[in-house]
Amino acid sequence: MAQHRGLLGDIENDLLSDQPIASVLRKVVILGGRAGSAELREWASQELKGFSGVEAEELPPYRRIMAPMLMDAVTGPTMVERQPLPYSMLPDFVREEMPEELPIRVGVGELEAWAKSEKPISIAVPGAEIIGHHFDRESGNPFQKIQRIYWSVSPAVIIGILDQVKTALAELIGELIAGTPSSQDTPTADQAAQAVNVAISGSKGARVTVTTQQSGESSSLATQPEDTEPTWWTRGRKIGAAVVGLSTIIGAIAAVVVLL
């Protein structure tokens, strides 16, 4: 099979030679522009700049992780650090507002910086100050002061996310290569959309193939029926802000979790 040329071929070579993920993603943004594919540009741009404003269940699965929730506090003369706050100890109505999975929305550049850290990365829990204030008030200990409530994420987990981004890139480029004739420098918008649907959205039943005639490079694009709605776009219900209604529920949490 003839090797692809042009920007698609360059991206393939970059992946095989382990070039920085951000560099490859920028080329994918440009490829999406040349192909006229909003889907291709959007995914690569979000991986670069972050998924700000994207609901947790709409993130790619590799950007939803499990991480322990911890607290730091002062209790009189004693400093307590990294006190576990197990998710299972939260009341049911709290867990409905605060999903167990931690969404990782930051861009690839920040993830790469986190991956180099020698210590766990602390990610603040939304509304942590409100939660801490109510914990302190309900504890009955005038000398208790919760300073931080946060998720703790190992750098190894961040490295795993980056590896998944690179794997998604490889699957995406593999789909584009499979669906684009070697004589064609740039995929069409339809070919790019199909590739994103398969590699990123997870619709494995929509893989693309190219049927090449024996007499030359002319080809036709064949696709299997695709799911109308990728599962990771529709799974679960919409999660609002994690701190919605905290002023009415923290008292119940404080009765369960009190630093001694």
In contact, 139 and 258? CB cutoff 8 Å: yes
Answer yes or no: is pLDDT of 232 > 80. Answer: no
pTM of the model: 0.73
Which residues partner with 103 through β-bridges?
A: 64
- Side-by-side strand order, sheet with 121-124: 78-84, 69-75, 144-153, 121-124
Over residues 234-244, the mean pLDDT reads: 34
50-104 confidence digits (pLDDT tens): 999 999 889 999 999 999 999 999 988 999 999 998 887 765 666 678 888 999 9
210-223 confidence digits (pLDDT tens): 433 333 433 333 33
Distance from C-alpha of 89 to C-alpha of 125, rounded to nearest angstrom: 16
End-to-end CA, the chain = 68
Answer yes or no: is pLDDT of 199 > 80. Answer: yes
One-letter amino acid at 135 equals F
Q: Is 205 helix (H, G, I), strand (E, B) or coil?
A: helix
Burial (CB < 10 A; 0-12, 13-18, 19+), residue 148, is: middle
Distance from C-alpha of 222 to C-alpha of 63, rounded to nearest angstrom: 31
One-letter amino acid at 213 equals Q
One-letter amino acid at 79 equals M
Distance from C-alpha of 92 to C-alpha of 98, rounded to nearest angstrom: 10
In contact, 198 and 179? CB cutoff 8 Å: no
* Strand (E) or helix (H) holding 79: strand 78-84
What pLDDT sits at residue 92?
A: 62
Give the residue among 43, 35, 5 at the shortest CA–CA distance from 171.
43
What pLDDT sits at residue 221?
A: 37
Answer yes or no: is pLDDT of 201 > 50. Answer: yes
144-169 confidence digits (pLDDT tens): 998 998 999 999 999 999 999 999 99
